[in-house]
């Protein structure tokens, strides 16, 4: 490969080149991106990057595990050591494939690893689909994975004809709800605050059964997905009460080691992270509790197919509320981390 001058000593550029997460919060950086020491690496120029709830959790120090800061991206490969991913390829990023990479909140991002890992981590985007749609590939792949796992935990061929309730009308909840509808489920979305439901209604993004406040959803669902920021005890209790006998609660929102709900025999964090299913009981009725964590290459392929092939790509572009550039990003991230926010903020590096 032709090692670009970016592998040499760091030279300061006048315009910011990235936003790095430091112990004191997000900061502009002006240095060139670091090429990993791996034999194989590709350089990606992100065109658009979505701000994810997990970026904001990392800023708040509330997300354990390896950093995935700036991972919802679509961009173009501009330098590559492998013919499997040549320069000019338009790619998204699967952050669950381990790579040595910089943040995606950057004008350029090096990613290093074996050629196989690079190909898995940087799925090629279909031609002819716009970047404002493709930037949703990663969160949509997570949603697709959740529904695949729900089908598996239920030992069902799919979700067709099932009643699904999604708790939490944030970005994760709305993508899960929209995708469940395309799989033939009857879907209701429930949220604590009304403004988020109003936001979705105004953008024609509510599912077929509409939206309800948390306390207003009817019981009797086959599947209830907890897609709130965290799986809090009162939310899990509510989810269990909304289930039919033998129904399935999917743990999708954040959990932490040791999380348990009194009266439910289940290690919540382990079930979510290991994607297990527990057949247990709640208040004398049999229920199932299942987990969903991360994505697979098949989920990315499904998500990219949906974004490319459905007439309006599930309407994801209607969820976009702002586009910011790198210089304004640290302030924007700090604000988003401390305030409630509706819709998706994009970064155009």
Which residues would be at the binding site for ligand NAP (CB under 6 A)? 53-54, 142, 168-173, 191-193, 196, 227-229, 232, 235, 252-254, 292-294, 340
Question: Partners of 287 in the beta sheet?
Answer: 280
Q: Nearest to ligand NAP by Cβ — which residue?
A: 170
Cα torsion angle, 80, 86, 88, 94, sign: negative
Closer CB to ligand NAP, 111 or 319, in the complex? 319
Tokens linked to 107: 């004008």
Cα torsion angle, 327, 330, 335, 341, sign: positive
Least spacing, CB of residue 28 vs ligand NAP, in Å? 24
Least spacing, CB of residue 337 vs ligand NAP, in Å? 10
Least spacing, CB of residue 173 vs ligand NAP, in Å? 5
Cα torsion angle, 223, 250, 138, 207, sign: positive
Closer CB to ligand NAP, 196 or 221, in the complex? 196
Least spacing, CB of residue 65 vs ligand NAP, in Å? 11
Closer CB to ligand NAP, 43 or 172, in the complex? 172
Least spacing, CB of residue 260 vs ligand NAP, in Å? 18
Triad 127, 135, 112: Cα angle to 5°: 85
Least spacing, CB of residue 254 vs ligand NAP, in Å? 4
Closer CB to ligand NAP, 115 or 294, in the complex? 294
Beta strand pairing call for 163-167 and 90-92: unpaired
Triad 268, 270, 275: Cα angle to 5°: 100
Closer CB to ligand NAP, 193 or 312, in the complex? 193
Least spacing, CB of residue 110 vs ligand NAP, in Å? 25
Closer CB to ligand NAP, 17 or 292, in the complex? 292
Rounded Cα distance, 276 and 281, in Å: 16
Least spacing, CB of residue 63 vs ligand NAP, in Å? 8
Closer CB to ligand NAP, 51 or 287, in the complex? 51
Closer CB to ligand NAP, 42 or 167, in the complex? 167
């Amino acid at each position: 490969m032709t090692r670009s001058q970016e592998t040499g000593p760091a030279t300061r550029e006048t315009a910011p080149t990235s936003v790095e997460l430091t112990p004191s919060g997000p900061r502009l950086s002006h240095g060139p991106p670091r090429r990993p020491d791996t034999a194989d690496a590709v350089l990606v120029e992100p065109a658009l990057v979505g701000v994810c709830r997990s970026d904001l959790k990392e800023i708040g120090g509330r997300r354990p595990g390896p950093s995935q800061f700036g991972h919802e991206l679509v961009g173009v490969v501009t330098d590559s050591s492998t013919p499997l991913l040549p320069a000019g390829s338009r790619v998204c990023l699967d952050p669950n494939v381990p790579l040595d990479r910089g943040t995606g909140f950057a004008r350029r991002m090096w990613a290093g690893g074996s050629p196989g890992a690079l190909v898995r981590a940087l799925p090629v985007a279909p031609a002819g689909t716009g970047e404002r749609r493709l930037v949703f590939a990663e969160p949509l792949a997570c949603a697709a994975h959740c529904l695949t796992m729900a089908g598996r935990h239920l030992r069902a061929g799919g979700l067709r004809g099932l009643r699904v309730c999604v708790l939490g009308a944030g970005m994760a909840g709305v993508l899960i709800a929209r995708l469940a509808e395309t799989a033939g489920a009857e879907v209701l979305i429930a949220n604590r605050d009304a403004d988020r439901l109003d936001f979705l209604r105004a953008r024609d993004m509510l599912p077929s059964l509409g939206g309800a406040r948390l306390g207003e959803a009817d019981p009797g669902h086959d599947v209830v997905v907890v897609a709130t920021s965290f799986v809090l005890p009162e939310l899990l209790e509510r989810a269990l009460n909304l289930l039919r006998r033998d129904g399935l609660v999917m743990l999708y929102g954040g959990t932490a080691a040791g999380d348990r709900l009194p009266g439910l025999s289940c290690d919540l964090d382990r079930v979510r992270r290991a994607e297990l299913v527990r057949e247990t009981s709640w208040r004398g009725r049999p229920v199932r509790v299942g987990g969903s964590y991360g994505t697979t290459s098949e989920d990315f392929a499904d998500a990219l197919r949906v974004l490319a092939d459905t007439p309006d790509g599930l309407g994801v572009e209607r969820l976009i509320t702002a586009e910011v550039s790198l210089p304004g990003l640290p302030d924007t991230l700090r604000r988003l981390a401390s305030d409630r926010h509706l819709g998706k903020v994009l970064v155009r590096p």
